[in-house]
Amino acid sequence: MSKLPILPGATLGILGGGQLGRMFTIAARTMGYKVMVLDPDPQSPAGQMADVHLQADYDDHGALKKMGEACAAVTTEFENVPAASLIELSRTCRVSPGADAVAIVQDRSREKTWLADNGFPTAPFALVGSAADLAAAAQLTGFPAILKVSRFGYDGKGQYRVNSMQELEAAFAELKGNACVLEGFVTLDCEVSVVLARGDAGECRTWTVGENRHENGILDVSIVPARVTAKIAHDAILSAVEIASKLGYVGVMAVEFFVSGGHVLVNEIAPRPHNSGHYTLDACATDQFEQQVRALAGLPLGDTRLLSPVVMVNILGDRWQNGGPRWDALLSHPGIQLHLYGKETARPGRKMGHFSVLDESLDRALAIAEHMKAEL
């Protein structure tokens, strides 16, 4: 495919119609592009905003042919798009990220093995392909540990904390014998993430390191800048950039880290914009979705400066269980930016939106965010 920049007026495609696709679509249309979304959900949040919504499965050859012919370039909003679909699209249009990189990071077993083979430190782990592997895996990681399904697990789904062989065997049976990774626990100081963009020529820009807090395996709050030492932040950024380079990655990606004993350990790679990067929408010169458009279109990458300390809070479907969120309380504060994702049905654990609190003082922003979480 041509490496000439794709300019406004062209059509860009995205596989996946969730909130990440929605925010990409808004960014692309704001910049003057047309957008085609491929997603089987007739109520997809991205489909609501797109010029064209192809309501079809991700491996539907007719839909892929239509997308490949109409779009100058195609990207993805989540990692579980079939690699074969990306290969098929790449025959007729520009695709980023590439199928090779996505194939590695969409499978935890391959991802962990790739990280270890390339010298990136992780928590202790073992691959589990069958029940016969459980004893040896437990010997390597010890207990407590977390059993994670290799494919299609996210936001705490497909994961079980186990404290004994009996619990491990039960968890593996619960996961229907699918390939898994068993991860040992480490002493955790905090969790941080680096969101970055990488262009065709290897140009790489990173955003400020964020500190993340999770509840039930789902991101709850991101605090930016992360309250870590300059060395920790530097090491995380250096590691993330090296990962992107070794993957030959083009586009926006995130790398999540455990901070343990003054060292950073790679937890997971996300080949797409990331929940922990939503703060960039309100607090940075260029947000992660505009940057995704730029990388996909072969344009120079934008300025990633942090313009204000910020705290981002996820709004989950649980908030709708007792009469719904109190938007009046939230929107009464002038320093809060609200983003809702256009999802029709609120379910516990489902990401329905987020809000960001900007303030000159990070401590004050965090205090306001915590207060508003309770008020909401």
Three-state SS at 149:
strand
Q: What's the CATH code, domain 124-184?
A: 3.30.1490.20
Query: What is the spatial distance between Cα 328 and Cα 39, in angstroms, rounded to a whole number?
Result: 33
Has residue 110 got a pLDDT over 70?
Answer: yes
Q: What is the percentage of the chain residues whose pLDDT exceeds 90?
A: 90
Q: With 90 as the cut, is the pLDDT of residue 155 above it? A: no
Give CA–CA dist 183/190, Å, rounded: 17
The Cβ of residue 78 has, within 10 Å, a number of other Cβ atoms equal to 18
Instruction: State the architecture of 11-95 in CATH terms.
Output: 3-Layer(aba) Sandwich (3.40)
**pLDDT category of residue 83 using cuts at 50, 70 and 90:** confident
**Res 151: pLDDT:** 82
What ranges do the domains of the chain cover?
Answer: 11-95, 124-184, 190-375
d(CA 238, CA 260): 17
Lowest pLDDT segment from 154-158, 345-349, 364-368, 372-376: 154-158
Q: How many angstroms separate the CA atoms of 358 and 376, rounded?
A: 17
Kindly state the percentage of the chain with pLDDT values over 70: 98
How confident is the model over 56-72, as a mean pLDDT? 97
Q: In CATH terms, are 11-95 and 190-375 the same topology? A: no
Per-chain mean pLDDT for the chain: 95
**Of the options 3.30.360.10, 3.40.50.1220, 3.30.470.20, 3.30.420.40, the CATH number for the domain spanning 190-375:** 3.30.470.20
CA dihedral 366, 372, 373, 375 (to 10 degrees): 150
What pLDDT does residue 217 have?
86
Checking if the pLDDT of 199 tops 60, the result is yes
Give tens-digit pLDDT for 303-345: 999 999 999 999 999 999 877 899 999 999 998 999 999 998 9
Is residue 83 within 8 A of residue 61, CB to CB? The reply is no
The CA-atom distances, in angstroms, between 135 and each of 172, 183, 313 are: 12, 13, 40
CA distance linking residue 238 with residue 248, whole number of Å:
15
Whether residue 122 contacts residue 101, with contact meaning beta carbons closer than 8 Å, is answered with no
User: E strand or H helix at 161, and its extent?
Assistant: strand 159-162
pLDDT, position 156:
57
